Structure 1
């Protein structure tokens, strides 16, 4: 029950798509596999760079990258128009950070560690961890969105 509650709270968090539309994360269920990456500026830039290397395959698989900076000074460039199906911007970042901090605390992960949480198409957590986000693995393992799969 606790896991379901955490996933429901995550689903209520708001984000802005590259086209300027504001949605709740749960509105993307069935359309996108969100991958939330949270850390300092260097961690976020590395994660976005890793995702860019396999961008085409990730887009085919419905992966949407949501970088959540842990410091106010983190300078993460906003998504460009061509990032519409690839990147989104978290709104009310403090609410996203509160959710991330709760997950880190439960997993006994230090505040200074960068983390990622990958969601399935139904909004449930598929994978999570610290360190490099395995975008290369996601680009191979996840089925394309036009075929059946989670």
Structure 2
């Protein structure tokens, strides 16, 4: 397979999302967020968060549909954090897991940030109120992914 366009980055790209017909959103292992011109694959804007993700086999970063907010793990994977993307402001943190956070996710309707942990716990923070809104029944093992139905429910 021959690529149509190529671009190179210093760090591993761990997240990629098509924002619109002109823009790709990427995040790398150091949580550098780039808005790329889709045609030229060059950065139109870059936001450096300097949160190193050494473990990224699971989803360690996720964005709302318009990329206004993003969820990520703290550098030590002990907390899930919600940020306002443009201001880089940490607007909510969740440190309820008894162990490391395994993954984060934002539901398709942009209502909740979910934090799943090595302890089997799943918690949801309301993005508007920035408060804990949901605690799902604890699983017996690690929860390293979360999926949503086609209508956006868990």
Which TM-score applies when normalising by structure 2?
A: 0.29
Q: TM-score, normalized by length of structure 1?
A: 0.29
Q: Which structure carries more relative contact order (alpha carbon 8 Å, separation 6+)?
A: 1
Q: Relative to total residues, which structure has the larger helix share, 1 or 2?
A: 1
More strand, by proportion: 2
Rg larger in structure: 2
